[in-house]
Structure 1
C-alpha cells in the first residue's frame, strides 16, 4: 500500500492528512463556491514526483465569464498545468517532489469549483 501525505494551507492554517492506498481519482483538493469575491483563491499542496494528477474546474452558474485553474511550482513559479471552464480538465505528471500552488481565477460574475485528483 502506498502512503501519501498532502498538506493544504488555507489562510495561514495548515491541515495535514495521510491517505493510504488512494483510489483512482481521489480528490487531493476540492474547493466549492469560488467567485471573484472569494477570500482564498490559492492553496498549497505537497505532491510526489511521478504521480499522475488531474486538475479540473467547473462553472456552477449561468453567469458570464470563465473560471481558470492553475498549478505552479512554489519554488520557481513554473506553470505545470492550467485549465478553464471551456476546457475543464488537464492531466499532468508531477515533475519533482515538492510544494505546489493550486490557484483559481474566476472572472466577472462566474462561480465554480476546482478539484485536484490523484490518478495513481
Structure 2
C-alpha cells in the first residue's frame, strides 16, 4: 500500500499506509488524523484543506474549477493547497506528504 505522510501544524508526522482508491480525507478519518471534512467529501466546504509538499504538487491530477472555488474559502491558502477529499490515493502517490493548516473556515 502507498504511504501518505500527514504533518500536523505543530510538525508531528504521521506516516499512514493508505488503501488505493480512498481520498486523503477518508484516509485521515480512518487513522484519527485531525481533518474536519464537514461536508463529508461532497465538495461543499474547505475544511479538508491540506497543503501539498511542493515536490508532489505537480504529480497530482489537475485541480478542477469546483475545487478551486471551495479553496477560495480555505484558511491559510497556499500555492500548493488542495482539498483532501479530491486527492485519491494511487500507487504513484507513495510518499505523498501533506501538511494540515493551522485552522479551518467552516461555513456550513
TM-score normalised by structure 1 residue count:
0.33
Which has more helix, going by share of residues?
Answer: 2
Q: Choose 1 or 2 for highest CA Rg.
A: 1
TM-score normalised by structure 2 residue count:
0.35
Which has more strand, going by share of residues?
Answer: 1
